[in-house]
Amino acid sequence: MDTTIQTAEPVIITGLDTGQQDFDYSMVELAELAQANHMEVITRIDQVIDRPNPATYFGKGKVEEIRDVADANHVPTIITNDELSPSQLRNLEEGTGCRILDRTALILEIFANRAQTKEAKLQVQIAELQYRLPRLQTSASERLDQQTGGGSGFTNRGAGETKLEMDRRTIQHHIAHLRQELASIDKSEQTKRKLRAKSAIPTAALVGYTNSGKSTIMNGLVRKYGAAEEKTVFEKNMLFATLDTSVRQLTLPDQKRFLLSDTVGFVSKLPTHLVESFKSTLAEAANADLLIQVIDYSDPHYKQMMATTAKTLKQIGIEDIPMINVFNKADKTEIEFPILEGDDQVVISAKQDASLDLLVDVIKKHLFKDYVTATLLIPFTDGHVVSYLNEHTNILDTEYKSNGTLLTVEMSTQDYQRYNKYEQA
Ligand SMILES: Nc1nc2c(ncn2[C@@H]2O[C@H](COP(=O)(O)OP(=O)(O)OP(=O)(O)O)[C@@H](O)[C@H]2O)c(=O)[nH]1
Ligand SMILES: [Mg+2]
């Protein structure tokens, strides 16, 4: 158990209701993001307005109201539901006397705190520096610098133009340097990915909203069908538990194999820079033969979450990959499970064995739909072919004839092309 006592930083969350759909939901999500960043939401202040004030985001009266509420409650930090322009950020800080953390900076902080691997850390740092570049004279920049070590210790408030220019250049150099470093890591990842593509093992990728249960499903399947050396991944009840992509090979009882990848979850308004810099992490999903969208069916906002996933996939450029929907955490609802709906939807609980079996059935139907069944007569002199087929394909029947082994085999089209010379009419 974690025994360190962390005092949560008190914050006020604020939002502009410009009549956009799902405003309330995005505010609920903002509160969850704040909690994920160890903050305590003291209160929420909204303003209904046609469009944001270009100078201060909120209208003048609202800025004063926020300042007064913050003062009265000794709250040092205000969180806004949208990404603010550099001047809005500056003006709002002046108007409220508080530190302003916009949604983007908040998500960046969470990612920075969660990043474990070198690749994830580099990706977050690049996104952070890009966000800071136009905002050097705000506390948002200083805060990111202090909290995450993303920069190199600039102090910019009230700095002169020359100093500012210098800082800009330093940051630009820093970004270029980090990009190079990331590219060298990406290269080895790309090589691995190419090798996998060559091996022609079909790939499925778990995608979906953060905390929906992707890693739990991955681990359930790894425990059932992974070889001993295939390790489980980190799963936890918190937003953005996973920031990297893990790939595991699974071998089903009928010898069918596939690769399963688990990756970073989504949230609405995921910052563009972050999506950009996580593209290499998400490439695994982009190259998959099948997407498995995991949905937290017990969350009343699950439909919005699905819309967010659809939007994010589009943003990454993933549009034409077949997808199955997994309505997970059904054990937390009144709905019966496991249930198959049509041929591409299941209602399950990642924590139930029968659910995982049903899910595997659906995955199989999609990934192996091109598999062929053929009867092959392998002469005794080609014993190595029999061993290969035994190891890599699903042998439905074996008969020993005088002139060789007669096998009824279910296999990939590739294997079929290699061995159809043995086929019996
Ligand atoms: N009751 C219940 N809890 C579940 C189920 N699936 C996952 N969970 C829990 O939900 C929480 C999040 O699960 P993860 O597997 O880490 O979620 P994720 O989608 O990988 O999340 P990110 O990595 O943050 O994107 C954990 O506490 C899991 O134990 C389920 O079917 N039923
Ligand atoms: Mg995860």
Query: pLDDT at position 418, please?
Result: 94
Out of 29, 211, 305, mutate this one to test ligand 1's pocket (max ligand atoms within 8 Å of CB): namely 211
Lowest mean pLDDT among 12-26, 83-97, 184-198, 253-267: 184-198
Give 278 Cα–ligand 2 centroid separation in angstroms. 15
Would you say domain 9-113 falls under CATH 3.90.550.10?
no
Q: How many CB atoms lie within 10 A of CB 249?
A: 18
Has residue 194 got a pLDDT over 90? Answer: no
Give 80 Cα–ligand 2 centroid separation in angstroms. 26
Ligand 1 atom showing the smallest separation from residue 242 Cα: 23
Beta bridge partners of 340: 346
* Closest to 91 measured CA to CA, from 128, 66, 74, 127: 66
Whether residue 207 contacts residue 291, with contact meaning beta carbons closer than 8 Å, is answered with: yes
Out of 216, 291, 335, mutate this one to test ligand 1's pocket (max ligand atoms within 8 Å of CB): namely 216
DSSP 327-379: EE-GGGSSS--SEEETTTEEE--TT-HHHHHHHHHHHHHHHTTT-EEEEEEE-
pLDDT in tens, 271-330: 888 888 787 778 788 889 999 999 999 999 999 999 999 999 998 888 889 999 999 999
ipTM for the complex shown: 0.99
Identify residue 72 by its one-letter amino acid code. Answer: A
pLDDT in tens, 384-424: 999 999 888 888 999 999 999 999 999 988 899 999 999 99
Q: Is the dihedral of CA 234, 238, 244, 247 positive or negative?
A: positive
Compute the radius of gyration of the chain from its Cα atoms. 26
Average pLDDT over residues 92-97: 95
Q: Do domains 9-113 and 201-367 have the same CATH topology?
A: yes
Query: pLDDT at position 1, please?
Result: 47
Ligand 1 site: residues with CB under 6 angstroms? 210-216, 235-237, 239-242, 265, 294, 328-329, 331-332, 349-351
Give 299 Cα–ligand 1 centroid separation in angstroms. 12
Query: pLDDT at position 243, please?
Result: 87
Query: pLDDT at position 218, please?
Result: 97
For the chain, count helices (H), then strands (E).
Answer: 14, 14
Extract the annotated binding site for GTP: 208-215, 240-244, 262-265, 328-331, 349-351
Alpha-carbon distance of 65 to 162, in angstroms, equals 36
Atom 5, ligand 1: residue with shortest CA distance: 329
Q: Which ligand is nearest to the CA of 294?
A: 1
CATH code reported for the domain at 201-367: 3.40.50.300
Has residue 156 got a pLDDT over 50? Answer: no
- When pLDDT is cut at 50, 70 and 90, the band that residue 36 belongs to is very high
User: What b/e sequence results for 167-197 when a residue is b if at least 16 CB atoms lie within 10 Å of its CB, and e otherwise?
Assistant: beeebeebbeebeeebeeebeeeeeebeebe
Has residue 259 got a pLDDT over 60? Answer: yes
* Closest to 326 measured CA to CA, from 210, 212, 176, 177: 212
Query: pLDDT at position 343, please?
Result: 92
Q: What are the structural domain ranges in the chain?
A: 9-113, 115-199, 201-367, 372-422
Segment holding 89, helix H or strand E:
helix 86-96
Ligand 1 atom showing the smallest separation from residue 206 Cα: 19
Query: pLDDT at position 227, please?
Result: 86
Higher pLDDT, 244 or 100: 100
pLDDT in tens, 216-255: 999 999 999 998 888 889 898 888 888 888 999 999 988 8
Alpha-carbon distance of 291 to 323, in angstroms, equals 5
Ligand 1 atom showing the smallest separation from residue 294 Cα: 19
Mean pLDDT of the chain: 89
Query: pLDDT at position 6, please?
Result: 63
- Cα–Cα distances in angstroms (integers) from residue 54 to residues 23, 50, 57, 59, 410, in the given order: 20, 12, 6, 9, 64
Query: pLDDT at position 153, please?
Result: 42
Atom 6, ligand 1: residue with shortest CA distance: 213
Ligand 1 atom showing the smallest separation from residue 217 Cα: 15
Has residue 204 got a pLDDT over 80? Answer: yes
Higher pLDDT, 246 or 162: 246
